[in-house]
Chain A
Amino acid sequence: MEMMRRERIDRGIKVRTEGIYAISSIREVLYLLGPRLILIVGMISLPFILELAPYWKRVVNIMCVYSLIALSFDFLANYVGLVCLGGAFFVGIGGYIAAIFNVYLSFPIYVSIPLATICGAIFCTLMLLPCLPLRGVYFAIVTLMYPLFFTRVIEALNILGGTNGITGLSSFPNQYVEEYTIIIVTLLFLFGMRRFVTQDIGLVLRGVKDNDQAVRASGISIAYMKSLAVFIASVMGCFAGAYIAHLYMWSGISLFALDFSIIPIASVVIGGGGTLVGAIIGSVILVPLSEILRAFGTFRIVIYCIILTLVIVFKSEGLMIYLQRKYHQFERWVKV
């Protein structure tokens, strides 16, 4: 019996576009730019497309917020090897600090968001510092605990508005600023991170994930690299938190809610871990789905978890890696 097997070969155009020859013809340039342009133009034109449906414009904002958190999860999990089970921790800290700056200290919005992002990221990094020099499941454990912990502390001590939260944050000047702030920041972070992980420092971070002893033997401090990575990830998370607090003009304990932890993880797993773009594609799929399923209440989380488990068990590569393969390679059957 003749055995056949499927063989995958890179497309000619993919090989041609790897070097300087990429700019030799319009076709090669389009091959490279096409997918990126589709994403950028698509994201930027979304508010115009949805002009007639104001409710869904709100959903686009939320979608970008989740993409940012997913991006930070993807970066931490697949480039540094730290599994963060509590994206809500970053969101909550960012939101509360923005509220403190804006309401208690009455800073204007364009100061409070950047300030909350930086201060929140420093705070998160300091809180997570004890578990960074360690291998294993400690980071996952501690990040799992922090959102619950802060909820409890705020409820128990009745500080920062207690269960009612802090109200009266100033809103964005107009709708377009509101939308384009988050869309442009998301795109900047996406392409920035893609560039960042291919730099030398990205290589070192991947070294921390795969073989920390080798990194250490090269005279690089692992704890320092990890805390740097956590800082970058929490910048993204805290910006998302500060933004969402200003979007809702309110900051409360629901910023520490489970949604902010589980939906980003699910979108990364669905979109394809380690691609960074996958995080955004995943949230583009999941967040509108979550709006459609709003009537089901907490049952949505069950649905995410089931999707998440099924994808991670049966199709762990995710959507983006599949698409990349189809885009760059063709398949044919050959005799063994």
Chain B
Amino acid sequence: MEIIVYGIINSITLSLMALGFTLVYSISRLPNFAHGALYITAGYFTWLFINKFAGFPYPFAIIAALALTSIIGALIYRFILIRVRGMEISEIIASYAIGLAILEGLRWGGLRGMTFTLPTFVTGSFNIMGVSVDYQRIIIVGVGIFIFIVLYLFTHFNRIGLALRGIAQDERAAMMLGIDSDMTAIVSLAIGSGLAGFAGVVLLPLGNIIVEVGYNVLIFAIAVCVVGGLGSWGGTIIASFVIGFAQILTEFFLSSHYQMVVALLAIIIILLIKPSGLFGKQKELEERV
């Protein structure tokens, strides 16, 4: 029973981490290696708003932090990535360098140790089917499902969302219909960073805000995206359940040190068996040489 409950929670956690990365990649084909950095940045901003500008209520702090993170994402695209768009090597190096600069800058600025924690939204815990779960984890599951629904509605019933999907499916045809490719890329990066930040704000109350978490998040996000098929949304959710349950099972039967091993093994196995991921059918020819 514990396995099922915590498996679901872990899976939703992973998919929250991965959603921003997969959104940016599916729309603008940019591997955003600064994803983990944005996750930490949002948590740090929230902490800053609460503790340094006294009197900021928690919800407002979160909203302000998310807005700032989205703006950072948009600025990264507008001033840096837009100039190297299409050059794969430069895209990867530039986004990775930005992410590293943010993370190591924060580490240098003193973001280490146990001092940086966010309060949970609601403290306490209750029992589901004999398993004790604290409210924060319940909120994560609720928020995760809520985000999936909002994203689905946004991309199916909204002009901007439809434009994003158009660019994702066929960039040239979408451009012929008057959709601005750079504009959608900016929007996608803003939303992607916002989602990374959102994941950070929701998940970070469970632990400390430390730089290493940023690297882990990037790796888990990438693992989920590769297993699900880069740029496939349905695949991302399925893959996060696969990896999430695999992690919980190894944690239950072996030890919690193996989370990273599971993520990496998942990538290796999927690259060996079905490189385009669980749901990346139409891209198979494109990616396999």
Hey, which bits of chain A sit against chain B, CB under 8 A? 77-78, 81, 83, 85, 130-131, 133-138, 140-142, 144-146, 148-149, 152-153, 155-157, 212, 216, 222-223, 258, 262, 265-266, 269, 273, 296-299, 301-302, 304-306, 308-309, 312-314, 316
Q: Lowest 9 CB-CB distances: which A-B pairs, in order?
A: A156-B257, A305-B101, A305-B97, A301-B104, A299-B108, A130-B271, A308-B97, A302-B105, A152-B260
Hey, which bits of chain B sit against chain A, CB under 8 A? 31, 33, 80, 83-84, 88-90, 92-94, 96-98, 100-101, 104-105, 107-108, 215, 218-219, 222, 226, 230, 255, 257-258, 260-261, 264, 267-268, 271-272, 275, 286-289
Could you tell me the distance in whole angstroms from the C-beta of B255 to the nearest C-beta in chain A? 8
In contact, B101 and A306 (Cβ under 8 angstroms): yes
In this complex, what residue of B is CB-closest to A151?
A: B260
Could you tell me the distance in whole angstroms from the C-beta of B137 to the nearest C-beta in chain A? 24
Specify the main secondary structure of chain A where it touches its partner.
helix
**B108 — which chain A residues lie within 8 A by C-beta?**
296-299, 302
A134-B288 in contact given A83-B93, A312-B94, A316-B90 (Cβ < 8 Å): yes
In contact, A134 and B275 (Cβ under 8 angstroms): yes
**A152 — which chain B residues lie within 8 A by C-beta?**
257, 260-261
**A149 — which chain B residues lie within 8 A by C-beta?**
260-261, 264
Could you tell me the distance in whole angstroms from the C-beta of A317 to the nearest C-beta in chain B? 12
A sample of 13 inter-chain contacts (CB < 8 A) reads A85-B92, A134-B289, A138-B287, A142-B271, A145-B219, A212-B289, A266-B97, A309-B97, A309-B101, A312-B90, A313-B84, A314-B83, A316-B90
In contact, A309 and B261 (Cβ under 8 angstroms): no
Measured in the bound complex, the distance between the Cα atoms of B226 and A287 in whole Å is 35
Known A-B contacts: A145-B219, A145-B264, A152-B257. Give 17 more (CB < 8 A).
Answer: A83-B88, A130-B268, A130-B271, A137-B31, A138-B271, A141-B267, A142-B271, A144-B218, A149-B261, A153-B261, A156-B257, A302-B101, A305-B98, A306-B97, A309-B94, A312-B90, A313-B80
Could you tell me the distance in whole angstroms from the C-beta of A299 to the nearest C-beta in chain B? 4
**B289 — which chain A residues lie within 8 A by C-beta?**
133-135, 212, 216, 222-223
Could you tell me the distance in whole angstroms from the C-beta of A272 to the nearest C-beta in chain B? 14
**B105 — which chain A residues lie within 8 A by C-beta?**
299, 302
In contact, A83 and B92 (Cβ under 8 angstroms): yes
In contact, A77 and B261 (Cβ under 8 angstroms): no
Measured in the bound complex, the distance between the Cα atoms of B255 and A157 in whole Å is 10
**B93 — which chain A residues lie within 8 A by C-beta?**
83, 85, 265, 269, 308, 312
In contact, A144 and B33 (Cβ under 8 angstroms): yes
In contact, A136 and B230 (Cβ under 8 angstroms): yes
**B267 — which chain A residues lie within 8 A by C-beta?**
141-142, 145
In contact, B96 and A85 (Cβ under 8 angstroms): yes
Could you tell me the distance in whole angstroms from the C-beta of A300 to the nearest C-beta in chain B? 8
In contact, B101 and A312 (Cβ under 8 angstroms): no
CB-based A-B contact count at 8 angstroms = 130
Across the interface, B104 reaches (CB within 8 A) one of A142, A269, A299, A313, namely A299
**A308 — which chain B residues lie within 8 A by C-beta?**
93-94, 97
**B96 — which chain A residues lie within 8 A by C-beta?**
85, 144
In contact, A156 and B271 (Cβ under 8 angstroms): no
**B271 — which chain A residues lie within 8 A by C-beta?**
130-131, 134, 138, 142
In this complex, what residue of A is CB-closest to B258?
A: A156
In this complex, what residue of A is CB-closest to B31?
A: A137
Measured in the bound complex, the distance between the Cα atoms of B222 and A308 in whole Å is 23
**A312 — which chain B residues lie within 8 A by C-beta?**
84, 90, 93-94, 97
**B226 — which chain A residues lie within 8 A by C-beta?**
138, 141
In contact, B92 and A140 (Cβ under 8 angstroms): yes
In this complex, what residue of B is CB-closest to A134?
A: B275
In contact, B107 and A298 (Cβ under 8 angstroms): yes
In contact, B98 and A309 (Cβ under 8 angstroms): yes
**A304 — which chain B residues lie within 8 A by C-beta?**
97
In this complex, what residue of B is CB-closest to A262?
A: B100
Measured in the bound complex, the distance between the Cα atoms of B90 and A249 in whole Å is 37
Measured in the bound complex, the distance between the Cα atoms of B96 and A269 in whole Å is 14
In contact, A301 and B222 (Cβ under 8 angstroms): no
**A313 — which chain B residues lie within 8 A by C-beta?**
80, 83-84, 94
**B286 — which chain A residues lie within 8 A by C-beta?**
135
Measured in the bound complex, the distance between the Cα atoms of B92 and A144 in whole Å is 11
Measured in the bound complex, the distance between the Cα atoms of B275 and A133 in whole Å is 9
**A222 — which chain B residues lie within 8 A by C-beta?**
289
**A138 — which chain B residues lie within 8 A by C-beta?**
226, 271, 275, 287
Could you tell me the distance in whole angstroms from the C-beta of B240 to the nearest C-beta in chain A? 17
**B88 — which chain A residues lie within 8 A by C-beta?**
83, 136-137
**A316 — which chain B residues lie within 8 A by C-beta?**
84, 90
In contact, A298 and B104 (Cβ under 8 angstroms): yes
In contact, A77 and B264 (Cβ under 8 angstroms): no
**B94 — which chain A residues lie within 8 A by C-beta?**
308-309, 312-313
In contact, A148 and B83 (Cβ under 8 angstroms): no
In this complex, what residue of A is CB-closest to B270?
A: A130
Could you tell me the distance in whole angstroms from the C-beta of B128 to the nearest C-beta in chain A? 30
